Structure formats: structure tokens, C-alpha cells
Amino acid sequence: MADEPAPLLLGWVIVYVEDPPAARDFYVRAFGLQGGFVAGSGTYAELDTGATKLAFAAYTLGGQNFPGGVRAAAAGDGAPPNVEIALVADDVDAAYERALAAGCASLAQPRDKPQGQRVAWVRDPFGTLLELATPL
């Protein structure tokens, strides 16, 4: 029997935006996350979110990494993009109010799910879909 390859691990999540340092600073203010490093003349910025980092990269960096780059997220109305970032909070209602006060748009107010979890959804000013949820 051949050796199975080691499983892959999620190392980081990168959200493409116009201004990575501004996105990083927004998440520090809006959600109390800890800022990480900024690199590449402001084309990349990280947050210290534990084992898996949340980072922001400039759309221009996507174009440098592979042909065609990435499609920009729409910050306004309409359906959000196909990726959701979940931020876990003990008090979803307070996190939701803090997100709105910081400039996020409400997509769904806090509510209880059948599995006992409390959740809410917002869109950040950069167009990213965020779920605010209690731990599972």
C-alpha cells in the first residue's frame, strides 16, 4: 500500500482589495483584531488571527501573480461574492453593532439558528461578506 500524502492545511485567507493597509486597519477598528505586518509597498497586509492568518492583497498583486488577476468585489448592493469570512464572537449582537458603527452594511440581523448558534451577516466597505457567529 502506497503512503498517503500528508493532508493539506489552511495556511491563510487572502482578500483582494484596492488598499490592503486600509482594509487591515478597518478590521482592527471594527472587530478588534490584531494587526500583522504590511509588505510590498502596501500591496499586502496581514492580521494576526491565530493559526490561520487573514490577509489583504492589492488587486494589482493578483495581476502580477497570474494572468487576468482577480475580479473586484462589488462594495454596493447585489448579491455578495461566493466566499464568506466567519468571525467568532461570544456576543454576536455587540459585534454586529460594532461592525455597523464602523461602516459595514447589514445583510441579516443577529438571529438564533436551530443548532443553538447565534449569527448575523454584514458586508464590509471593501465588498467582503462576513458572518459574525458564536462558537459551534
- Are residues 106 and 61 in contact, defined by beta-carbon separation less than 8 angstroms? no
Question: 65 and 6 in one domain?
Answer: yes
Question: 97 and 53 in one domain?
Answer: no
Question: 91 and 53 in one domain?
Answer: no
Please give the average pLDDT of every successive group of 10 residues along the chain, which has 136 residues. 85 94 96 90 92 93 92 79 92 98 96 96 94 95
> What pLDDT sits at residue 80?
86
Question: 57 and 15 in one domain?
Answer: yes
Question: 61 and 9 in one domain?
Answer: yes
End of a domain among 27, 45, 72?
72
Euclidean distance between CA atoms 100 and 95, whole angstroms: 9
> What pLDDT sits at residue 40?
77
Question: 48 and 15 in one domain?
Answer: yes
Question: 60 and 92 in one domain?
Answer: no
Cα separations in angstroms, 100 against 45, 72, 104, 107, 109? 23, 22, 5, 10, 11
pTM, full prediction: 0.89
Question: 63 and 3 in one domain?
Answer: yes
CA dihedral 102, 26, 30, 45 (to 10 degrees): 170
Q: What domain range includes position 100?
A: 78-136
> What pLDDT sits at residue 90?
96
End of a domain among 72, 96, 119?
72
